Amino acid sequence: MIDSALLPTLGGYINGEWVMADSGKTLTVTNPVDHSELADVAAMGQPETERAIAAAEQALERPASLEQRRDWLNAIADALTQNREEIGRLLCLEHGKPLAEAQGEVDYAAGFFRYAANHIDVLAPRTLDEQPRDCRWTIHHRPAGVVGLITPWNFPIGMIAKKLSSAIAADCSSVIKPSSKTPLTMIALFTLLEREVKLPAGKANLVMGSAGPITEALFAAPSVRVISFTGSTEVGRELIRQAAPGVKRLTLELGGNAPYIIFADADLDRAADQLMANKFRGGGQTCVCANRIFVHADVAPVFAEKLAQRVEALQIGDGMQPGTTLGPLIDENAVKKVARHVDDAINKGAKLIYQGDASGLAGTFHPPTVLLDVPANAACYREETFGPLVPIITFADEPEVVRMANDTDFGLACYVFTADEARGQKVIERLRFGHAALNTGSGPTPEAPFGGMKQSGYGREGGLEGLLEFTEAQTVPVG
Ligand code: NAP
């Protein structure tokens, strides 16, 4: 069982108090590297969520000044930075990603709080230069109300940072539900909110447990005005349905199926290096990671070879061991999905270029795999693989690759590599993805808005746009 100074309890946090589930039930958190049990955390439900919402409602009655909120945001960024090693360790143990990567995620999370602190002035009231109807007009960014924040397991600290930084900046109070697979990092965050930041009771509340009863309570409460969700498109669709009766606002950061396009004139070494960093982060379990790699037919075999050499150098194993660059997948279902995608593509004519060796490892591993000539009817072309598979698809010309890249219901991230920047920009104009990178495999950053088009969701996190997600504009003409 895990031992950490940041886990003084394994309970939720409601109205400034650590609490276990009313029922006494717990849920077990395991380490995907060897299935060992890490902790039994409180498995809460509807009554605890209702109490968390009530506490959040009371906290809303005590508005905080912009300066106070800036101080809290800076204090959270500082606390995360000072505790990056221990939070990273907990994250590595419950998620499986390599320790250095996990600690890098803590830095990434701190960046959202810092950015919000630095830019909170955009939420200050704005008086119009014009005076229509003989009135002085002022626009106030009011807190939207209580907000429900639901996060996935693939970035246990990064995803809550995106949401909570904007919620605090907007002076909303929140009820947070982490993924049942990775709640320990969230408990550690709440320990810091209590100990270091001294956030007032009720401002942020933590409930853990089965998603159904918790989200039902959130949707049923009139005071909960925004639900911000990051996770699968399947669950996102269900939330849209549940949001209708109470006309709740949703921010949805959903699944992706990112195209990674390499034209024949591209710097192939750079494209391969960037693909390694993009594709294998988190074991390939990121919403922005390249899912379909489109390479011009003239250079596809050379590129596949360059990539295979790099993939061969990956060190598969326990993320806590120095040198590990590829950890386990989150669970058995994840391994089965990658294996199904590999088998299906090979059965439909794809060539196996390289497959690593994960035999002898006890946890939920899938070896990194490179496939060439993957056909458009392969499952990995249509579905998000969420694992260490690189399916290379060849194309002949620009119109064809634009059509293929857009041939998906998702629209989260895409990447284009070419030596001709004008051509790259022209192609990007026609790609329907919220994050469209040229000659880089870089994903989101706290300073820029990030979010999806099409069925990858709506709303933006990060940047100035993200700071407005939990606000309501109130327009006040004074006569
Ligand atoms: P998930 O199964 O949709 O779960 C996400 C969160 O929703 C978890 O807290 C989960 O709780 C909860 N949940 C599950 N069923 C629910 C329901 N019926 N109603 C309300 N909440 C529910 O997704 P995941 O497997 O954790 O994450 C992977 C997915 O997230 C991928 O599709 C990935 O692309 C997407 N993602 C998107 C972004 C983005 O920014 N667009 C970022 C990261 C990940 P339990 O754990 O308790 O079931």
Q: How far is the CA of 231 from the centre of ligand 1 (A)?
A: 3
pTM of the model: 0.98
Q: How far is the CA of 419 from the centre of ligand 1 (A)?
A: 37
Site to probe by mutation for ligand 1, drawn from 41, 186, 235 as the one with most ligand atoms within 8 Å of Cβ, is: 235
Nearest to 416 by CA among 442, 391, 390, 392: 442
pLDDT, tens digit, 9 for 90 and up, residues 167-226: 999 999 999 999 999 999 999 999 999 999 999 999 999 999 999 999 999 999 999 999
Catalytically active residues are: 253, 287
Q: What CATH number matches the domain at 12-254+456-478, 3.65.10.10, 3.30.70.20, 3.40.605.10, 3.40.50.10800?
A: 3.40.605.10
152 lines ligand 1 (CB under 6 A): yes
177 lines ligand 1 (CB under 6 A): yes
Q: Which atom of ligand 1 is nearest to the CA of 456?
A: 41
- pLDDT, residue 58, reads 98
- DSSP H or E run through 242: helix 233-243
Q: Which atom of ligand 1 is nearest to the CA of 152?
A: 26
- pLDDT, residue 470, reads 98
Nearest to 328 by CA among 386, 392, 253, 273: 386
Fold annotation for 258-445: Aldehyde Dehydrogenase; Chain A, domain 2 (3.40.309)
Nearest to 126 by CA among 479, 475, 478: 475
Q: How far apart are CA 340 and CA 328, in angstroms?
A: 17
- pLDDT, residue 114, reads 99
- pLDDT, residue 280, reads 98
- DSSP H or E run through 150: strand 146-150
| List of the chain residues with pLDDT < 70 | none
- pLDDT, residue 38, reads 98
Q: How far is the CA of 232 from the centre of ligand 1 (A)?
A: 5
Those residues with Cβ within 8 angstroms of residue 27's Cβ, 6 or more apart along the chain or in another chain = 40, 41, 42, 43, 180, 183, 208, 209
| Joined tokens for residue 181 | 């697979």
- pLDDT, residue 240, reads 98
Name the residue with the closest Cα to ligand 1, atom 9.
Answer: 179
Name the residue with the closest Cα to ligand 1, atom 47.
Answer: 180
| Number of C-beta neighbours around residue 422 at 10 A | 8
pLDDT, tens digit, 9 for 90 and up, residues 22-80: 999 999 999 999 999 999 999 999 999 999 999 999 999 999 999 999 999 999 999 99
DSSP string, 299-310: THHHHHHHHHHH
Count of residues for the chain? 479
Domain ranges of the chain: 12-254+456-478, 258-445
DSSP string, 116-149: HHHHGGGGS-EE-S--GGG-EEEEEEEE-SEEEE
- pLDDT, residue 261, reads 99
Site to probe by mutation for ligand 1, drawn from 153, 214, 335, 469 as the one with most ligand atoms within 8 Å of Cβ, is: 153
